[in-house]
Structure 1
Amino acid sequence: MASLRVCLLSILMLLLTACSSLLPRGSTDVLSGFGSFEDARDAIERVKPYQTTTSQLKDLGFDVHDTANVRQIPYPEVIARLAPNPSVPLDMLDPGIRDCIESRQACRAYEFSFGRQVSHREGSFWADFLNFRRRTEITGWRFQGLVVVRDGVVLFRNYGGEPQIKQTERQSNPLGPLQPAGEAAGALISR
């Protein structure tokens, strides 16, 4: 009987230590041909205003027609983004922005959004499963590039984003699995 207890206790300990692999994991990919923020940044920095054509732009990984996650920005929004303050004279703006504004509807702007995020839960399986404590680690990167084109030639380009995302989300529920019931009761009482 004692050996059965030792065996069951050993199995229980093994299950408890291996349970962290049972915690949820996930990822979000915003499709692109780039493996990192740095790859996308290096590609967009090779875009030269007044020299790079849309076909060359495509070769760099920024196809304005067939790339996933590209948004064509309407002309009024282009003006609002590139020249948000009407008190700034046109001659103070970047030449590409100025030419875009003067070209009106012939000017097109494209916003490229790429990235990758991976999330996985850390900690005790039982504390997570029973809703007492949850900790989620999120890592990845996010890139946004803006390209302004007129007559098949790039006038202006810019980029931004988050080269390195590292976040930790923590949630603590003192009532564990009863927490949602407690919150619902509190909402009913406050009505």
Structure 2
Amino acid sequence: MLMLLLTACGSLLPRGSTESQSGFASFESARDAIERVKPYETTVAQLKDLGFDVQASANVRQIPYPEVVARLAPNPSVPLAMLDPGIRDCIEARQLCRAYEFSFGRQNSYREGSFWADFLNFRRRTEITGWRFQGLIVARDGVVLFRNYGGEPQIKQTERQSNPLGPLQPAGEAAGALIKR
């Protein structure tokens, strides 16, 4: 009975997830959608059909013009003629240019290892998996001038924490902080 109890304890470890809501199930589906956006052809109204609704999407940020310039042309020594035509047209349009940053993703975290070592704060190991996508769309007069994307197609992280004092570790850290004062 004790063996059954100890082996089943792993399922008692915490699990969690974080999701930035979007209509995309993966980095690849978001990437494929933004690659269908054609500069100087796609309209802002058409973005909605591709999953990038600038008005109603969650996790979309409208970037103010000064920040747009800082992001798209961060080095003033680069001549305007060397920039992408869409970036150049945006900079020349000034306040008429609009930039939208879309941030989507999903992360799952779960603890692995011994329930008792975790519960008593001796050892904790957390596995994190998921993906993150960031897309940038720049438009003027309702027409997309430029689009770009980046992110992390596959997140796989392991966090390890070891506390030699187990449940007494926080008390030791608190006492150390008091001594430093």
Using the size of structure 1 for normalisation, the TM-score is: 0.94
Moved over 4 A (4+): none
Pairs aligned (count): 181
Q: Which letter maps to 1:33?
A: G
Gaps of 5+ in 1: 1-10
Q: 1:36-185 to 2 correspondence within 5 Å?
A: 36-185=26-175
How far apart are 1:190 and its partner, in Å? 2.3
Match of residue 3 from structure 2:
13
Q: Which letter maps to 1:88?
A: V
Gaps of 5+ in 2: none
How far apart are 1:56 and its partner, in Å? 1.3
Between the aligned partners of 1:100 and 1:165, the Cα distance in structure 2 is 33
- Identity of counterpart residues, as a percentage? 88
> SS state of the match for residue 104, structure 2?
strand
**Alignment root-mean-square deviation, CA:** 0.6
**Residue of structure 2 aligned with 1:31, choices 21, 30, 44:** 21
The superposition leaves residues 60-93 of structure 1 with CA deviations (integer Å, 9 ceiling, x where unpaired) of 0001101000000000000000001111111000
- Structure number with bigger Rg: 1
How far apart are 1:132 and its partner, in Å? 0.3
> SS state of the match for residue 168, structure 1?
strand
Using the size of structure 2 for normalisation, the TM-score is: 0.99
Between the aligned partners of 2:180 and 2:88, the Cα distance in structure 1 is 56
